[in-house]
Structure 1
Amino acid sequence: MKALFNQKLTVLNAGLTSFATNIERAGGSAVAMNWQPPGSGDKQGGMALAGLTNQADIEQANQVAMNRYLAAQPTLVDVMLAGEAMPELAERKLILHAGPPIAWQGMCGPVQGAILGAIVFERWASDIEQARVMIESGDVKFEPCHHYNAVGPMAGIISRSMPVWVVENQTEQGPERVFSNFNEGLGKVLRFGANNSDVIERLEWMGSELAQAMKVAVREMEGLELKPIMAQALHMGDEVHNRNAAATGLLMKQLIPALLSTDLPQDQLKRVISFITGNDHFFLNLSMAACKSMLKAAENVENSTMVTVMARNGVNFGIQLSGTGKQWFQAPANPVNGLFFPGFGVEDAAADLGDSAITETAGVGGFAMASSPAIVKFVGGTPNDATNNSRAMQAITLGGNPAFTLPALNFAPTAAGIDARKVVDNGVLPIINTGIAHKQAGVGQIGAGITTAPMQCFVEALRELEQRRAEQVTL
């Protein structure tokens, strides 16, 4: 003991930084640890975390969910109208939107504007004002895309007459299908709440000529595996969320020969090919569908803490866990820290919006930013920031996806399988790179940046899962 007190001591300080400072002023040596209580200090969340840690059934469940996610083989198999793919849309006036459930009165401007446009597009109303009257009278219903195994970027609107990609997980688990709408391109588009005549005319063309061409092309190809395209795009500078230039090019290499082998009129082929080649984000919706397909395979594994959905509706952020099924855990969406187009600022921005965070949930997008250093010119930061973001996600995931590798990290697999326990324990939030929509309908995209999922979602999810396990023990 005497020898111990005769040595020079170094104090590890896990409290306020000022404690370490006082020790140093007194001539001692102190290391201030970057520590904070789990779950931002939520006591019940901390207790739930403790109850779910080092539990054999939890670890086994997570391994099952992770293996199902890794084994999934999302394949583009068809193009259909949404009402054909999801019969519920044909049976009633139902419109799907991005993110967790939300009532009309609580929706942000872009989502409301997009819904009004969809009603006019469906010819349920002759104009926007009549569409608004229909909504206020309760004639139109709204539900999240995820409730129908579908995803859509930004407002995420899907109505019965819109074409959707049909993506099937072709594994021994069974051919489960997911859906995504088509990408409209940039400018005044429905997903940002625009709903004028140009928007409606474009949607009508997409539902006829474009959908017809894509349908015959997919059938000519006899399906198209999507994971190889995504994997190659990661090696070509994409992260397959906000940057899809390479992925869209790789898709075109498959589509054009298929289209040329059909008997479609030459004028139609020219319009279709011109539209796709003029839209670098055309692959985004397929990337989202592929990610949804992979994560759907991991759903409903009892006791699993793996996150299977992250989505935003422009007001709230919601997640789902494999072990809690379709139950949503929500919190107000965090602000987006990014770059704004000239003339716009944070006061103009809607809150985080869209189903496209399904890409990060599957281990790409913000999790794969190391593969896309050029993305920082769009969302802000430096190439080092992009690399650090990918590394940081390794602290909150169950493992990596060897199908998706990052050249900048010596071809390490992308971090994948978000573990809600690790998020709460480490205080590291899933990072998402995203577009920023103007809070008013129809203005469009006004910037892009980086945001995170709110901690409270994960805390509440763990509390629910721990309660379910406790009830099982009681029974």
Structure 2
Amino acid sequence: MTTTPTHVISAGADLFADAVAAQAVDVTRVDWRPPMTGTESDLATVAADPLRRDANARALAAMLDVSAMLVDVAPASEVLGLERGQFLHAGPPIEWARASGPLRGALMGGAALEGLVDDPEDAVRLFETGDGVSLDPCHHHAAVGPMAGVVTPSMWMFVLEDPATGRRTHCSLNEGLGKVLRYGAYSPEVLTRLRWMREVLGPLLQRAVRGTGPVDVTGILTQMLQMGDEAHNRNRAGTLMLLRDLAPAMVSSGMDSADVAESLRFVGGNDHFFLNLAMPACKLALDAARGIEGSTMVVAMARNGTDFGIQVAGTGDEWFTGPAQVAEGLYLGDYGPDDANPDIGDSAITETAGIGGFAMATAPAIVRLVGGSVPDALATTRRMHEITLGENPRWTVPVLEFQGVPSGIDVTRVCRTGILPQINTGMAGRVAGVGQVGAGLVTPPADIFPAALARLAELTRSRS
């Protein structure tokens, strides 16, 4: 006697599932895909590592236990020890000869800001010869920088601290959108704005933060995700909550009332201002997981406009790099794909921590900036759960029944599923001096995850 199944599970192509469903049989479709080519042996080796399960649990717990408090605002020369001629940048290490247009433009503008040259164009020779200048990644100095991420000694930095451990991270102040230094622009108005930020905005914020006391950045992140932000390309609610916390102390700071008014207008009119707090908050959390032997959790994703690099908890400070990709998205004015530089910036630290592109379901309006549709945003957040170790109970997604955001990117899960982390990002013009040309969606180069897996497998074998 034959019987008709009451339920069928189908993996792979939909042809079989469609045929069964047409016969009124319930079907569960499993989105199975083969592992990335050539990773089978390394996956088996790492899966057998007796340290892995506990190491990943400790890495995820360490990340989730961190609270980020804004405790100070001060020049990079003071809090990072930068000296004249020292420049930090976004992404993995790179030299001038391989630097992209927007990174070069930001370095040229930074050199003029520091008085190393009168005209930014004259800085090219400085960087070509290396005479009195040096480049180093922000990530190597407990810092992060959006887009080009250039930090110079006189720039003012947000200082975030985890009160339980005293560890600190840092990020520069946000300039706004369009023609700004972080997008590679260095025109006179860009430098004028940076000087005003150095002479007025930075000192005013320092007085406000010191006068108010620590600001709970992690708490603001928790609230803003409930209010339509995803904390990478949409920070409107976060910026306004920060302004709510600091405005009284800014007004009573004793500084010139016109300077205070201009500062309030600047922050209030810059929806991205809070991004430069979200980023170091995420780095502070992820740095807590660094150096955990056996862990396969990604602790940094960063781009310098030429290379895309990741770092993993169980492999120390080693970078695994591949070519940065050009984002797909929406362009400003007459700009198009030929005008865009490959992906750039440390801001993918937000996705590494589970927000930004991983939390697009919290901010469906983001699709109007980066492209796609509302269903795409929901599907992206669901898909990222397939490559992460767990969820963040503090950062939740209302439309998904308050499910925690996907947290803790796992190298083995990426290699096993072929699903790449989703990042939403701004796009810089490929030519130095142009500035922002659009915003869109991008993923890392696939090869960097098998490279990290191979190193993890090598370390596993060396312990056995």
Correspondence for 1:268: 259
Correspondence for 1:468: 459
Structure 1: which amino acid aligns with 2:146?
A: P
Structure 2: which amino acid aligns with 1:234?
A: L
Conserved? CA contact 2:184–2:428, under 8 Å: no
1:387 corresponds to which of 366, 378, 383: 378
Structure-2 separation of matches of 1:294 and 1:71: 8
Correspondence for 1:170: 163
Question: What is the deviation of 1:129?
Answer: 3.4
Correspondence for 1:404: 395
| Alignment partner of 1:424 is 2:421 | no
Structure-2 separation of matches of 1:267 and 1:237: 32
Structure 2: which amino acid aligns with 1:52?
A: V
- What's the Cα RMSD here? 2.4
Q: How does 1:38-437 map to 2 (within 5 A)?
A: 38-39=35-36, 41=37, 43=38, 45-87=39-81, 89-90=82-83, 93-139=85-131, 140-171=133-164, 174-437=165-428
Structure 2: which amino acid aligns with 1:131?
A: A
Question: Which runs of 5 or more structure 1 residues have no equivalent in the other structure?
Answer: 25-30
Give the aligned length.
Answer: 456
Structure-1 separation of matches of 2:304 and 2:451: 19
Correspondence for 1:27: none
Structure-1 separation of matches of 2:203 and 2:420: 42
Structure-2 separation of matches of 1:359 and 1:375: 15
Conserved? CA contact 2:45–2:460, under 8 Å: no
Question: What is the deviation of 1:32?
Answer: 10
C-alpha distance 7-238 of structure 1, shift in aligned 2 (>3 A): closer
Indicate the SS of the match to 1:110. helix
Indicate the SS of the match to 1:435. strand
- Percent identity reads 44
Q: Please give the TM-score of this superposition, normalised by the length of structure 2.
A: 0.93
Question: What is the deviation of 1:141?
Answer: 1.2
Conserved? CA contact 2:306–2:342, under 8 Å: yes
Structure-1 separation of matches of 2:79 and 2:232: 24
Conserved? CA contact 2:102–2:185, under 8 Å: yes
Question: What is the deviation of 1:300?
Answer: 0.9
Conserved? CA contact 2:100–2:305, under 8 Å: yes
Conserved? CA contact 2:97–2:128, under 8 Å: no
Structure-2 separation of matches of 1:454 and 1:133: 32
Structure-1 separation of matches of 2:395 and 2:121: 47
C-alpha distance 309-83 of structure 1, shift in aligned 2 (>3 A): same
Structure-2 separation of matches of 1:406 and 1:12: 28
* 1:373-395 Cα deviation digits (max 9, x unpaired): 11011111111111110110110
Structure 1: which amino acid aligns with 2:173?
A: F
Indicate the SS of the match to 1:56. coil
Question: What is the deviation of 1:176?
Answer: 0.9
* 1:201-223 Cα deviation digits (max 9, x unpaired): 11111112101100011111211
Structure 1: which amino acid aligns with 2:87?
A: I
* 1:89-134 Cα deviation digits (max 9, x unpaired): 22x5211111111111111101001001101110011222331111
Structure-2 separation of matches of 1:246 and 1:158: 26
Structure 2: which amino acid aligns with 1:327?
A: E
Question: What is the deviation of 1:262?
Answer: 2.1
Structure-2 separation of matches of 1:193 and 1:230: 28
C-alpha distance 79-7 of structure 1, shift in aligned 2 (>3 A): closer
* 1:51-71 Cα deviation digits (max 9, x unpaired): 111543101001111111010
Question: What is the deviation of 1:73?
Answer: 0.7
| Alignment partner of 1:447 is 2:438 | yes
Indicate the SS of the match to 1:273. helix
Question: Which runs of 5 or more structure 2 residues have no equivalent in the other structure?
Answer: 21-27
Structure-1 separation of matches of 2:91 and 2:322: 12
Indicate the SS of the match to 1:38. coil
Q: Please give the TM-score of this superposition, normalised by the length of structure 1.
A: 0.91
Structure-2 separation of matches of 1:240 and 1:11: 40
Indicate the SS of the match to 1:164. strand
Structure-2 separation of matches of 1:14 and 1:394: 18
Structure-1 separation of matches of 2:323 and 2:11: 29
Question: What is the deviation of 1:260?
Answer: 2.3
Indicate the SS of the match to 1:229. helix
Structure-2 separation of matches of 1:240 and 1:408: 17
Structure 2: which amino acid aligns with 1:442?
A: G
Correspondence for 1:28: none
Question: What is the deviation of 1:50?
Answer: 1.1
Runs of 4+ in 1 over 2 A off after TM superposition: 10-18, 31-37
Question: What is the deviation of 1:355?
Answer: 0.5
C-alpha distance 32-280 of structure 1, shift in aligned 2 (>3 A): closer
Structure-2 separation of matches of 1:15 and 1:78: 53
Structure-1 separation of matches of 2:217 and 2:244: 13
C-alpha distance 15-360 of structure 1, shift in aligned 2 (>3 A): closer
